[in-house]
Amino acid sequence: MRRLLALSACVAAGFALASIGGAFAGDSTRERATASALRGLVDLTHPFNERTIYWPTAKEFTLTQVAHGHTEGGYFYAANNFEAAEHGGTHLDSPIHFAEGRQTTDEIPLRRLVGRAVVVDVSAEALDNRDYLVSRADLRAWERQNGRIPRRTIVLLRTGWDRYWPNAERYVGTAERGQDAVPNLHFPGLGADGARWLVRRRAVKAVGIDTASIDYGQSTDFLSHRILGAANVPVFENLNRLGRLPERGFAVVALPMKIDGGSGGPLRIIAVRRP
Ligand SMILES: [Zn+2]
């Protein structure tokens, strides 16, 4: 049964992706399948703008207009420059972020960033505890309800914190900027016991969370980052709308900007639900 569930999730993802390819076939059945698959897409990405939340010490997102209007050539032309830290808004943490010698953004294989996924929902537990740590016990409890997490799964942790975005005071615990604000950070994260278990016992592909960091706001040793990074497991942070997903039976496509030597980068991440 478990194998069947795992297989059906792969088939759902494969179907959706194949259907997108089918859009070019011109066959009406395939076109209907494509339309159906596209309705199953969920954008898990926050927009990048002047309200996008960054670590208190990190450079925020700025968009500078270069051109916007009609040119002397008779055509319209728009272009901007943008600047931002790698780590802010919906983004990827590459393994090297906290693990020397591990993969940089451009080195992460695509197969790590695309595939079957599950959502572990701890939003009820985290609601009253902004320092909540997702534990191995939470992950085991999820498995008792939903079956074993297959190897090579992308595990998304839902704390419900996206409901506070983009209010920094509520989302990370402080709207202040700079080093002095760091001790005031409060938001849920993944406990080290949970990170170790996901790596050692479930050989996960990647881990994502709907808060500003995979380590909770009060962390000073960033152990979950270090454990995941050491195993070349990339992390997705500041995810949005995980509440729109089933607990299992869907796939994730997470494509960061391919920064050579990057320790992370802005991320466009979507889920592909079963049609
Ligand atoms: Zn990060």
pLDDT in tens, 88-110: 999 999 999 999 999 999 999 99
What global pTM score does this model have?
0.91
Query: Mean pLDDT across the chain, nearest whole number?
Result: 92
Q: Report the separation in Å between the CA atom of 213 and the middle of ligand 1, taken as the mean of its atom positions.
A: 6
Q: Can you tell me the mean pLDDT for 46-52?
A: 98
Q: Is 225 exposed, middle or buried (CB count within 10 Å of its CB: 0-12, 13-18, 19+)?
A: buried
Higher pLDDT, 41 or 20: 41
Give the per-residue pLDDT at 26: 63
pLDDT for residue 132 is more than 60? yes
- The model's confidence at residue 231, banded by pLDDT at 50, 70 and 90, is very high
Q: How far is the CA of 262 from the centre of ligand 1 (A)?
A: 11
**How far, in Å, is the centroid of ligand 1 from the Cα of 72?**
43
- Cα of 234 to ligand 1 centre, how many Å? 10
What DSSP character marks residue 221? S
Question: Quick one: pLDDT band at residue 216, thresholds 50, 70, 90?
Answer: very high
More reliable by pLDDT, 16 or 242: 242
Tell whether the model's pLDDT for residue 27 goes beyond 80: no
23: pLDDT strictly greater than 70: no
CA 247 to centroid of ligand 1, rounded, Å: 24
pLDDT in tens, 185-205: 999 999 999 999 999 999 999
Tell me the domains of the chain and their CATH numbers. 1-39 (no CATH), 42-58+86-273 (3.50.30.50)
Strands 154-158 and 76-83: unpaired
How many whole angstroms from 94 Cα to the centroid of ligand 1?
Answer: 8
Q: Do residues 209 and 217 touch, judged by C-beta distance below 8 A? A: no
Residue 20 has pLDDT above 60, yes or no: no
Distance 202 CA to ligand 1 centre (A): 23
Q: Where are the beta strands (DSSP E) in the chain?
A: 41-43, 62-70, 76-83, 91-93, 114-121, 133-134, 154-158, 189-190, 206-209, 235-237, 250-256, 264-273
Percent of all residues in the chain with a pLDDT value above 90, rounded to a whole number: 85
Around ion ligand 1, residues with a beta carbon closer than 5 Å are: 87, 93, 237
What string of H, E and C letters represents the secondary structure of 84-142? Answer: CCCCECCEEECHHHCCCCCCCHHHCCHHHHEEEEEEEECHHHHCCCCCCEECHHHHHHH
Residue 91 CA to ligand 1 centre (angstroms): 6
How far apart are the CA of 255 and the centre of ligand 1, in A?
Answer: 15
